[in-house]
């Protein structure tokens, strides 16, 4: 962005030095427009988004405690599940806590849907090296319900998926777009051309007067 600003200044300075012929309002408009365009064009949503998750152990005879963790590797839109990993940060009995939960399967076409930086649908299972399973689901899906279990000695589950919560772990980051510099320079060229045309008209008026 700094490079673009310097180049824009060069284009303006090298295409006419008659500052008194250049109305301040036009100069300000071009400067603001060029800056806004460079900011907009140089930023695009990054690919990976991380989320926090939690659900409550509400099964009959359960602990009513919370299972909490994080998800990594999601993107905006539909997520098949490939490349997504999970970490369990805490559980009611301390079991199943740890990282290394890799995506295993989904009962639907997509494991997660992310819309405007929010998880709006989940139906996924994860498994770690100790054969502990983590199931995550949202209300309304007809497949997996929330559960952290080793299938034999412990289970913390929400059979109705009504306690599921997902929150973005960090604000959605931004990365540079490969078209940013060319597009920003195009704005500068256009602004410089507009200035030259304006100066030419001013000179003609001055000569005729």
Q: Are residues 89 and 113 in the same domain?
A: yes
| 58 and 159 co-located in one domain | yes
Please state, as a whole number, how many other Cβ atoms lie within 10 Å of the Cβ of residue 180: 19
Task: Name 105's bridge partners.
Answer: 125
Same domain? 63 vs 149? yes
Task: Tell which residue, 158, 173, 192, 209, has the closest CA to residue 33.
Answer: 192
Tell whether 112 and 9 lie within a shared domain: no
In angstroms, rounded to a whole number, what is the distance separating the alpha carbons of residues 191 and 69? 51
Q: Which residues of 57-117 form beta strands (DSSP E)?
A: 66-74, 77-79, 85-90, 98-105, 112-115
* Whole-number Å distance between alpha carbons of 209 and 196: 20
The residue among 200, 199, 192, 183 whose CA lies nearest residue 10 is 192
Range of the domain at 56: 49-168
Q: Please report whether residue 196 resides in a domain.
A: yes
Residue pLDDT, tens place only, 49-89? 999 999 999 999 999 999 999 999 999 999 999 999 999 99
Q: Would the pLDDT of 21 be above 50?
A: no
With respect to residue 6, please indicate whether it lies within any of the assigned structural domains.
yes
Instruction: Determine the 3-state secondary structure of 70 from DSSP.
Output: strand
Would 174 be classed as within a structural domain?
no
pTM score above 0.75 = no
Q: Count the domains in the chain.
A: 2
pLDDT, residue 142, reads: 84
Q: Using one digit for the tens of pLDDT, what is the confidence trace for 185-206?
A: 454 455 455 556 655 555 555 5
Say what percent of the chain tops pLDDT 90: 55
User: Are 13 and 87 contained in the same domain?
Assistant: no
Mark whether 160 and 110 lie in a shared domain: yes
- Quote the Cα angle for 118-67-96, to 5°: 120
Kindly state whether residues 10 and 33 are assigned to the same domain. Answer: yes
Does residue 204 belong to any structural domain of this protein?
yes
Q: Are residues 57 and 30 in the same domain?
A: no
Task: Judge if 68 and 146 occupy the same domain.
Answer: yes
């Amino acid at each position: 962005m700094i490079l673009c600003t310097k180049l824009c200044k060069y284009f303006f300075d090298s295409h006419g030095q008659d500052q008194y012929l250049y109305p301040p309002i036009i100069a300000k408009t071009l400067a603001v427009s060029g800056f806004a365009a460079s900011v907009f064009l140089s930023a695009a949503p990054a690919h990976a988004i991380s989320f926090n998750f939690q659900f409550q152990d509400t099964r009959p005879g359960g602990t009513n405690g919370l299972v909490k963790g994080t998800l990594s590797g999601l993107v905006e839109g539909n997520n098949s599940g490939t490349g997504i990993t999970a970490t369990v940060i805490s559980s009611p009995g301390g079991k199943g806590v740890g990282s290394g939960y890799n995506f295993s399967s989904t009962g639907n076409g997509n494991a997660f849907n992310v819309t405007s930086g929010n998880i709006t649908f989940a139906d996924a299972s994860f498994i770690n090296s100790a054969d502990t399973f983590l199931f995550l689901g949202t209300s309304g899906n007809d497949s997996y319900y929330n559960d952290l279990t080793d299938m034999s000695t412990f289970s913390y589950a929400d059979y109705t998926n009504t306690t599921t919560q997902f929150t973005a772990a960090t604000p959605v980051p931004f990365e540079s777009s490969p078209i940013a510099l060319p597009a920003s320079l195009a704005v500068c060229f256009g602004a410089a051309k507009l200035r030259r045309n304006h100066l030419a008209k001013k000179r003609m008026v001055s000569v005729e007067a």
